[in-house]
Amino acid sequence: MENIQQKQSIPLLGDNFPNMKVQTTHGVMELPKAFAGKWFILFSHPADFTPVCTTEFVAFQNRYKKFKELNCELIGLSVDQVFSHIKWEEWINEKLQVDIQFPIIADTGAFAETLGLIHPGKGTNTVRAVFVVDDKAKIRVILYYPQELGRNIDEILRIVEAIQIADKSNVAMPANWPNNEIVKDHVIVPPATDIKTAKERLEKAKAGEIECYDWWLCHKKV
């Protein structure tokens, strides 16, 4: 029982990203130190030279500039040797004319185990996981996908932008932001937690400072 509990002790939301020295296609890196002061996305893929993973890497690279504009870096991972990563990058460049510019971790399996990325019942294959880590090295979002489902990279980009706005403006983000069916591109004002604040919300709405459906559902333009 003790061994099972230790194996399941993987990082959770709000935890510090674990310190680890890793071999990558850009040389040895220390995480999260290598991205100090930046956000980063660590995403794992089942294996090199696989079709779904190839489409994902092209999609990540095509949006790499947008991630960097959000002060966010990318780093991939799979339990493959660095030689395999390099050869796969060369194949993508030659066949698809896309130059993968972000590093890929060549994991022995130890880092994947630490993050809970080994796919149950599938040997050393890693799941399609995504860790969104902020500029203070805190894990903010964790996503897991089955092997047969490729990720929506635009959604991962939206996640980073939305959390950064939420942090900066002390607001919450509605479903499908910035294209919400109710409040469109507005953000949600945190609900009032006392009677005084609830009344103030409605007064602010009358003054045009915010918009409210009720005191507990208010929104505004960022």
**CATH value at residue 217:** 3.30.1020.10
User: Residue 101 corresponds to which tokens in the numbers above?
Assistant: 């510019």
Judge if 106 and 174 occupy the same domain: no
Q: What's residue 176's pLDDT?
A: 97
> Position of tokens 């939301």?
13
212 is catalytic: no
How many domains, the chain? 2
- The whole-number pLDDT of residue 3 equals 44
Task: Report the distance separating Cα 23 and Cα 121, nearest Å.
Answer: 26
| Per-residue pLDDT, 61 | 98
Same domain, 134 and 174: no
Q: Please indicate, yes or no, whether residues 145 and 40 belong to a single structural domain of this protein.
A: yes
Annotated catalytic residue within 53, 72, 212, 218: 53
Q: Which of 152, 180, 200 is the last residue of a domain?
A: 152
CATH code at position 136: 3.40.30.10
Pick from 199, 196, 222, 195: which is nearest to 212 by CA? 199
pLDDT at 85: 97
Q: Is 13 a domain residue?
A: yes
pLDDT of residue 169: 96
The verdict on 113 and 180 lying in the same domain is no
Low-confidence ranges of the chain (pLDDT < 70): 1-9, 119-125
What pLDDT shows up at residue 124? 60
In contact, 41 and 68? CB cutoff 8 Å? no
192: in domain: yes
CA distances (Å), 41 to each of 59, 102, 168, in order? 14, 11, 19
219 and 129 co-located in one domain:
no
Identify the residue whose tokens are 């493959």. Answer: 80
Tell me, what's the pLDDT at 210?
A: 95
Residue 162 included in any domain: no
Assess whether 194 and 148 both reside in one domain: no
Q: Are residues 46 and 82 located together in one domain of the fold?
A: yes
Judge if 88 and 194 occupy the same domain: no
- Domain-located, residue 164: no
Q: Which residues of 166-191 are buried (b: 16+ CB within 10 A; e: fewer)?
A: beeeebebbeebbebeebeebbbbee
Q: 40 pairs with which residues across the strands? A: 73, 133
- pLDDT for res 11: 87
In a domain, 19, yes or no: yes
In a shared domain, residues 106 and 145: yes
Structural domain of 93 = 2-152
Burial class (CB in 10 A: 0-12, 13-18, 19+), 134: buried
HEC profile for the chain? CHHHHHHCCCCCCCCECCCEEEEECCEEEEECHHHCCCEEEEEECCCCCCHHHHHHHHHHHHCHHHHHHCCEEEEEEECCCHHHHHHHHHHHHHHHCCCCCCCEEECCCHHHHHHCCECCCCCCCECEEEEEECCCCEEEEEEEECCCCCCCHHHHHHHHHHHHHHHHHCCECCCCCCCECCCECCEEECCCCCHHHHHHHHHHHHCCCCEEEECCEEEECC
